[in-house]
Amino acid sequence: MHTSTMTSILKVMILLFCGTLICQGQDNYEREFRIKKSQFPDIPLDSSLAGHNIKRKRFYKEVDSLGSTYILKFKKNRLHYNLRFNESGELLNSGFKINEIDVPDETLQEIKRLLSSTFEKHRIKRMYQQYASNKNESEDSQLKNTFQNLLLPSNIYKLNITSKNGKNSTDYDFWFNAEGHLINKRIALPMNHDHTLY
């Protein structure tokens, strides 16, 4: 084989490799894994959670391309809650697991319309109603809204979706605003261990 041919093949292989890296770099991946309480940021758990009727308290760390966040999961009054914190222990968002029936009809229709136009086949695995942190609102006020399950114009709906393309399936996280318009999405990787869901 001529040297020029080998050089050309090598150049093509390098371009393909670089192109693959660039494409992969544009995807926002995340991975969540369970951690010990001692590895979690210092937060005033008792006061933040009102200290009553809390069951199955678990601590998680989530790592993605933007950094690390910490999630406290627990059950309170038959609902499954998630509180997300940064490394400094500041509350980023809060929420709880819901069903489709808990989403306003018009919002749900808009969400389903977008998902149907995006995927040939898909299934909603889990849904959450979230309350994002607000500089004009205290953490106590945000948590009060969360524990009262209020429907607010600032609500965010997070959906865990699995889609199928032939024999292959991919999991995604989607975020929608209170009107059902897409805010963000990313590929969701499986947790490293402890796959038990509430």
Q: What is the pLDDT of residue 96?
A: 97
- Give the burial class of 88: count Cβ atoms within 10 A of its Cβ; 0-12 exposed, 13-18 middle, 19 or more buried: exposed
Is 4 within the bounds of a domain?
no
> Does residue 155 register a pLDDT over 80?
yes
Is 133 within the bounds of a domain?
yes
Is 87 within the bounds of a domain?
yes
Interval 16-54: pLDDT, tens: 444 433 334 445 566 889 999 999 998 865 545 555 678
Residues 130, 158 contacting (CB under 8 angstroms):
yes
Q: What is the pLDDT of residue 192?
A: 57
Q: What is the pLDDT of residue 22?
A: 37
Is 141 within the bounds of a domain?
yes
Interval 97-118: pLDDT, tens: 999 999 999 999 999 999 999 9
Is 83 within the bounds of a domain?
yes
Please work out, in degrees rounded to the nearest 5, the angle formed at the alpha carbon of residue 150 by the alpha carbons of 147 and 151: 150
pTM, whole model, 2 decimals?
0.77
How far is 92 from 131, CA to CA, in rounded Å?
9
Is 21 within the bounds of a domain?
no
Give residue 175's domain range.
32-188
Interval 116-153: pLDDT, tens: 999 989 999 999 999 998 888 888 888 889 999 999 99
CATH of the domain at 97: 3.10.450.360
Is 12 within the bounds of a domain?
no
Residues 48, 84 contacting (CB under 8 angstroms):
no
Among residues 55, 71, 67, 61, the alpha carbon closest in space to that of 191 is found at 61
Domain count, the chain: 1
Q: What is the pLDDT of residue 167?
A: 82
> Does residue 59 register a pLDDT over 90?
yes
Question: Rounded to the nearest 5°, which phi and psi values hold at 174?
Answer: -125, 140
Distances (CA, A) of 68 to 13, 29, 75, 85: 34, 12, 23, 9
Q: What is the pLDDT of residue 107?
A: 98
Is 1 within the bounds of a domain?
no
